Structures are given as structure tokens and as C-alpha cells.
């Protein structure tokens, strides 16, 4: 469903499980995210198998590239034939790194990941980055966009500030979507409806769908909650 704001995190190393999740949720999901667990287990051929099996699926390749600019540019270029819609890099990698990825894959939207949703202000301070999460996220996002990124990943708590600080065409993607807080390793979360109201374009949802007894029903319920 191309108009759905939901990105399903297909966090599995099993291609059969990934295929099953896509098949059971395709009426309510806009984009499918294949991350490190899937890519390390199956590589490029695994992504291609998913694309062949589900030719209409929009693919978000979540590799969070973070290295020196030359290495990231070459890594991104090696993914060119996959023709994925989105590829993530870490915003903390800096301007030259993000620019290298964007130039290597001009037909793919480079997505800059800001502060991970598993981190809170106390953890950020321990890392020497200050305790103002929102300021850090906005600064990193602005630098990334100036360097060629087309979308930003941030927690829903920073979406409103990002929407005010960035051009309107920049897509905001928010993980940390939960119906209940404090149930797992995510520290900065909102409900799906709250995140959309704050200005998110896409919601990354994983375990609330993939871990549900009926993933299709769970996807339907979340879709309905944000499209009323």
C-alpha cells in the first residue's frame, strides 16, 4: 500500500519469515525495512530475492553506514544495482561522508539517522555529546540535509522541532513507535497517532507487528489508528 505511512521493520534473518510478514501485511504497509540482521545473514542476494518475490514492495535498506567518506561512498555504490528506495547512514558521520553516499546513489534517498531512540539525555551526556537531545538531533539533521540527505530518522519526540527547522519536502521517519512505553529497549517513544500529529511522514514499527500473534491484524489496527 503505497500511501501507508507505516514502515515495517522486518527484523529477521530468515527469508521465509520475511516473505510471510510481507505477504500478511501488504495491505497496510507502505515500506519494508531490511536491516543488519537480515543483510548480514542473506546479503545482496537476499534483498534481491525479496524484491523478486514482492515486486511492488518499497525497500528501506537500514545499514546505518558510518565510516570515512571514501569507504561509505564505495559501500553505497556497491548497492546501486539493488535500486532500493531508502538507504540509511549515520548523521554523526559528518558532511563529507553523507555527501559521498548521496553522490554514489543519486536515485536512492539517503536517510540520515540522528540520535538512536535507545539513547536518552543521560546516555548522551555520558558520551560527551551534551544532554540536549533535541538540539543535537536538529543540528545533525540540518548538516545532513545540506550534504544531500533526503530524509531524517529521529525519535518522535524531536519530530516537531525538525518539521519547523527543515524544508517541507524532507521526509521525517520515526522509530520508537509504541502503544505502551517501558516495555523494551526504546527510551524515546510515542504512539502512532501522536507521532503523525507531531509531523512524521513515516512510522517505523517492528515488534508490535512482527511479534504479534496475527501480524496482519496488528498492521491493520495501527494503520487505522493513524488514518482516521
- pLDDT per residue as tens digits for the range 54-113: 998 999 999 999 999 999 999 999 999 999 999 999 999 999 999 999 999 999 999 999
Q: Mean pLDDT across the stretch 158-180? A: 89
pLDDT of residue 63: 98
- Please state the length of the chain: 228
* Residues noted as catalytic: 64
Place of cell 556497491: 78
Of 1 and 141, which is predicted with more confidence? 141
Chain-centroid distance of CA 155 in Å reads 10
Closest CA to 117 of 189, 212, 178: 189
Backbone torsions φ then ψ of 168, nearest 5 degrees: -65, -25
Q: Mean pLDDT across the stretch 164-177? A: 92
pLDDT of residue 176: 74
> Model confidence at 41, in pLDDT bands (50, 70, 90)?
very high
Q: How far apart are CA 189 and CA 178, in angstroms?
A: 6
Q: How far apart are CA 33 and CA 166, in angstroms?
A: 24
pLDDT at 228 over 90: no
Place of cell 526504546: 186
pLDDT at 144 over 90: yes
Q: What percent of the chain has pLDDT over 90?
A: 73
CATH H-level superfamily of 6-226: Aldolase class I (3.20.20.70)
Alpha helix (H) residue ranges in the chain: 15-25, 36-53, 69-77, 95-104, 121-126, 133-146, 159-165, 192-198, 207-210, 215-226
> Model confidence at 116, in pLDDT bands (50, 70, 90)?
confident
Of 116 and 13, which is predicted with more confidence? 13
> Model confidence at 27, in pLDDT bands (50, 70, 90)?
very high
- pLDDT per residue as tens digits for the range 171-207: 999 987 766 554 544 555 678 888 898 899 999 999 8
Q: What percent of the chain has pLDDT over 70?
A: 94
The C-alpha cell at 152 is 531524517
Burial of 51 (0-12, 13-18, 19+ CB in 10 A): middle
pLDDT of residue 186: 53
Domain residue spans in the chain?
A: 6-226
Amino acid at each position: 500500500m503505497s500511501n501507508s505511512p507505516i514502515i515495517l521493520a522486518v527484523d529477521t534473518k530468515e527469508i521465509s519469515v520475511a516473505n510471510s510478514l510481507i505477504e500478511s501485511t501488504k495491505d497496510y504497509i507502505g515500506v519494508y525495512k531490511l536491516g543488519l540482521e537480515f543483510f548480514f545473514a542473506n546479503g545482496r542476494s537476499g534483498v534481491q530475492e525479496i524484491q523478486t518475490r514482492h515486486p511492488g514492495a518499497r525497500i528501506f535498506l537500514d545499514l546505518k553506514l558510518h565510516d570515512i567518506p571514501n569507504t561509505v561512498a564505495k559501500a553505497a555504490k556497491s548497492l546501486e544495482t539493488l535500486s532500493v528506495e531508502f538507504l540509511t547512514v549515520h548523521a554523526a558521520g559528518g558532511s563529507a561522508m553523507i555527501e559521498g553516499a548521496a553522490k554514489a546513489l543519486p536515485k536512492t534517498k539517503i536517510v540520515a539517522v540522528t540520535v538512536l531512540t535507545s539513547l536518552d539525555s543521560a546516555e548522551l551526556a555520558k558520551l560527551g555529546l551534551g544532554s540536549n537531545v533535541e538540539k543535537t538531533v536538529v543540528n545533525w539533521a540540518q548538516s545532513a540535509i545540506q550534504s544531500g540527505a533526503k530524509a531524517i530518522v529521529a525519535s518522535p519526540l524531536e519530530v516537531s522541532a525538525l518539521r519547523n527547522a527543515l524544508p517541507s519536502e524532507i521526509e521525517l521517519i520515526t522509530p520508537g513507535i509504541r502503544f505502551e512505553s517501558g516495555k523494551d529497549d526504546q527510551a524515546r517513544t510515542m504512539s502512532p497517532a501522536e507521532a503523525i500529529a507531531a509531523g512524521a511522514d513515516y512510522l517505523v514499527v517492528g515488534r508490535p507487528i512482527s511479534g504479534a500473534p496475527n501480524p496482519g491484524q496488528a498492521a491493520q489496527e495501527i494503520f487505522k489508528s493513524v488514518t482516521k
